C-alpha cells in the first residue's frame, strides 16, 4: 500500500491517508507518528510544507478513535499560535 502502513496507524486512518492522496511519509511524519501513537510527547521542527500537521493529527485521530469518550469531557486540546494555523489544523482533522 503506502509507506504509512509501516508507521502503526489503524486501517481506518490508513484509508483516510490514502483518500487524501498521501503515499510517502515525510521525515517528520515517519519520526513523529510512531512515537505519538505510543503516547509519548513529541517535539518536532521542520520547514513549512513538510507535513507537520499530519504528523500530529493522524496519531491523535487514531488514539481518539480507539479510546472511550466521557460525557461532555474534552478529549484533546490543540493550541496554535495564530488563527490561520488553527484553521489549518481544523481542516486537517476534517479531511482525515
Per the prediction, the chain carries an average pLDDT of 89
**How many domains is the chain built from?**
1
Decide: 37 and 8 in contact? Cβ < 8 Å.
Answer: yes
Q: What is the SS3 assignment for 26?
A: coil
CA distance 86 to 17: 20
pTM passes above 0.75? yes
What is the domain extent for residue 46? 3-95
For residue 25, is pLDDT > 80? yes
Look at the block and give the residue holding cell 515517519. Answer: 30
Burial class (CB in 10 A: 0-12, 13-18, 19+), 41: exposed
pLDDT reported for residue 49: 87
Q: What CATH number is attached to the domain comprising 91?
A: 3.40.50.300
CA distance 11 to 85: 28
For residue 8, is pLDDT > 90? yes
Amino acid at each position: 500500500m503506502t509507506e504509512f502502513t509501516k508507521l502503526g496507524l489503524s486501517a481506518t486512518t490508513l484509508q483516510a491517508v490514502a483518500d487524501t492522496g498521501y503515499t510517502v511519509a515525510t521525515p517528520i511524519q515517519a519520526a513523529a507518528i510512531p512515537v505519538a501513537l505510543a503516547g509519548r510527547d513529541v517535539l518536532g521542527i521542520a520547514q513549512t510544507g513538510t507535513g507537520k500537521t499530519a504528523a500530529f493529527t493522524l496519531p491523535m485521530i487514531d488514539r481518539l478513535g480507539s479510546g472511550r469518550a466521557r460525557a461532555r469531557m474534552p478529549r484533546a486540546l490543540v493550541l496554535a499560535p495564530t488563527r490561520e494555523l488553527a484553521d489549518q489544523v481544523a481542516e486537517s482533522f476534517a479531511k482525515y
